[in-house]
Amino acid sequence: MERPMDEMLQRAAGRIRAHMPGHSGRAPLGETELYRLDTTETSCTDNLYAPESGILKAQILYARSMGSAACIFLHNGSTQGVHAMLEMGLRDGDTVILPRNAHLSAQSACILAGLRAVWIPLSMTEDGYPYIRPEDVLQTMKQTPEAKCILLTRPDYYGGCIPLETIAQEAHAMKMRLVIDEAHGAHLHYLHDFPDAGASGADVWVQSVHKTLPALTGSAVLHLADPDDLPRAMEVIRREQTSSPSFLLMRSVDDARAYMETQGRDHLARVCAEGEHLRRKLPQWGYADPTERWQEITGYRFDPLHVVIEAPQGGRALMRALEAAGADPEMADDRRVVLLYGAGTPVEIMEKMEDLLEAVPACRAPARMFPDPGPCPPCVLSMREAALADRAWVRWGEAEGRVCAQAFGLYPPGIPLCMPGERITREILLRVGAVPPQDRFGMKGEYVQCVEPSYLTLTGH
């Protein structure tokens, strides 16, 4: 009998993990027969969309533990939470301010809800770290007073956390709702002196529990600062999320909370200490930690669970060497590898990763830099209009002046050069041409997806 999924997962289970999920393959409160517990809504269980017993109590306990006024368990990851955060406070045609490095789910929410997006420009350090400057956030807010909501991402994929307090104060003074995609930060509340989004003034924030806490993949929580937002949030979630939620995922969220309240906070401190120990040893092996330099440039704080390793041989080369030795990092770019640990990561796994790094020679190779993404191109259509318009694949060298129908750009860093509805400029095409096809996303070979000119003529654009 063939069981390809089981065979694939069994192979992966025995490797050294430096990536999500945050349980690192260990059940936080002891192993359980998952099939025996998998069930649905019955008189013995509960209903996520009208909770009265187990789910209701678990959500109350989680909100109390994390310092939010109310929360909702999600089983479609933070993607569902981002949709809910934007749709619950906005209507068709409303304006939302988004960072250019926002997750794809924010773009999708604008398409689904018909929202107008205004983009915060992106900055990059000289060594290619993409970030959003707080002063650019505030400037974009002043230039867009009609916006009803602003979304920011923290931590980013490298662990960078933009300071929120001043932004939150200004947003509330301008009657804007501040919502935070804190998918990588479910553990922040349990760190000493590292405030999460709620403590920094956010109105609504979403966290992927599985990324850094010991919950199953796909589990997340939407947090509310105002309990009066609960009915509207539930209305949006019920409309877009399956009517058959996973009790196993919700149970893993509750277990993650119980673990953190008992033994998890202490273990998280040990994991952070081991991560700092690894950073201090990097120079001995020919590597470096760039986050101290980035912190001085950006004013960001960096999450201790993200260990960023600058590799002279290139990030992808180091990642291949680690994978060949049986270890899997979270991600790599041309210069760096990112290790992501969780509150459930055994310290011995981190020690094994240290041994591998010590054994991998840090040979120097020519460093390649991705081009700066440049300014946002002019917007012709809303993202919803462009996503639903007639479209065609156009050779990228012939796409100048066309209107983008599907986001595309360079990976890494995975930040779109052009969004749906924006006009493709010559500058963008030059940036695309500067990297090989395997370093591009949103394209099919040498082609990009564009809105048909006939649609633009028909709609008067």
Stretch 220-231: mean pLDDT: 97
* 21 is a domain residue: no
Domain boundary among 258, 281, 307: 258
199 vs 69: CA distance, rounded Å: 12
CATH number of the structural domain spanning residue 303: 3.90.1150.10
Give the pair of three-digit tokens for residue 447: 């082609």
Among 6-20, 24-38, 209-223, the minimum mean pLDDT is found in 24-38
* 54 is a domain residue: yes
Asked if 116 and 190 sit in the same domain, the reply is: yes
Q: Is 365 exposed, middle or buried (0-12, 13-18, 19+ CB in 10 A)?
A: exposed
Asked if 63 and 161 sit in the same domain, the reply is: yes
When pLDDT is cut at 50, 70 and 90, the band that residue 368 belongs to is: low
- Could you give the dihedral angle defined by the CA atoms of residues 356, 361, 365 and 367, in that order, rounded to the nearest 10 degrees? 40
Max distance between CA atoms of the chain, in angstroms, equals 64
pLDDT at 371: 65
Q: Mind listing the pLDDT tens digit for each residue in 76-131?
A: 999 999 999 999 989 999 999 999 999 999 999 999 999 999 999 999 998 989 99
Closest CA to 429 of 461, 457, 394: 394
54 vs 142: CA distance, rounded Å: 45
Asked if 402 and 354 sit in the same domain, the reply is: no
Domain boundary among 304, 324, 359: 359
147 vs 171: CA distance, rounded Å: 10
User: Is pLDDT of 402 > 90?
Assistant: yes
Asked if 70 and 201 sit in the same domain, the reply is: yes
Q: What share of the chain is helix, strand, coil (3-state, %, to 5)?
A: 40, 20, 40
Give 347's contacts (C-beta < 8 A, 6+ positions apart). Answer: 270, 271, 274
Strand 408-410, strand 440-441: pairing: antiparallel
Give the pair of three-digit tokens for residue 205: 């924030």
Asked if 416 and 319 sit in the same domain, the reply is: no
Asked if 227 and 353 sit in the same domain, the reply is: no
Give 377's contacts (C-beta < 8 A, 6+ positions apart). Answer: 418, 422, 423, 424, 425, 428
Asked if 253 and 280 sit in the same domain, the reply is: no
When pLDDT is cut at 50, 70 and 90, the band that residue 370 belongs to is: low
Burial 105-134 (b: 16+ CB within 10 A, else e): bbbbbbbebbbbbbbbbbbbeeebbbbbbb
User: Is pLDDT of 166 > 70?
Assistant: yes
Asked if 39 and 171 sit in the same domain, the reply is: yes
Asked if 50 and 149 sit in the same domain, the reply is: yes
Residue type at 309? I
* 2 is a domain residue: no
CATH number of the structural domain spanning residue 38: 3.40.640.10
**Sign of the C-alpha dihedral computed for residues 379, 421, 222 and 159 taken in this order:** negative
User: Is pLDDT of 133 > 70?
Assistant: yes
Closest CA to 241 of 51, 73, 103: 73
Please list the residues that pair with 118 across neighbouring strands: 97
* 224 is a domain residue: yes
3 state DSSP class of 58: helix
pLDDT at 458: 64
- CB 109 within 8 Å of CB 78: no
Counting the structural domains of the chain, the total is 3
135 vs 139: CA distance, rounded Å: 6
Q: How far is CA 316 from CA 45, 76, 331, 336, in A?
A: 47, 30, 9, 7
Asked if 207 and 286 sit in the same domain, the reply is: no
* 19 is a domain residue: no
Q: Which residue range forms the structural domain that includes residue 212?
A: 34-258
- The residue that leads in pLDDT, 410 or 54, is 54
Q: What is the mean pLDDT of the chain?
A: 94
347 vs 267: CA distance, rounded Å: 9
* 134 is a domain residue: yes
Q: What is the pTM of this model?
A: 0.95
* 15 is a domain residue: no
248 vs 305: CA distance, rounded Å: 26
pLDDT at 434: 79
User: Is pLDDT of 36 > 80?
Assistant: yes
Stretch 368-393: mean pLDDT: 86
Asked if 340 and 322 sit in the same domain, the reply is: yes
pLDDT at 5: 93
CATH number of the structural domain spanning residue 393: 3.90.100.10
Asked if 286 and 141 sit in the same domain, the reply is: no
Burial 199-217 (b: 16+ CB within 10 A, else e): ebbbbbbbbbbbbbbbbbe
Residue 389 has a CB neighbour count (10 Å cut-off) of 21
pLDDT at 155: 97
Among 25-29, 134-138, 198-202, the minimum mean pLDDT is found in 25-29
pLDDT at 88: 93
When pLDDT is cut at 50, 70 and 90, the band that residue 460 belongs to is: low
Domain boundary among 227, 258, 289: 258
Beta strand residue intervals within 296-407, DSSP E: 301-302, 306-310, 327-329, 331-332, 336-340, 391-395
* 155 is a domain residue: yes
Among 46-60, 95-109, 150-164, 408-422, the minimum mean pLDDT is found in 408-422
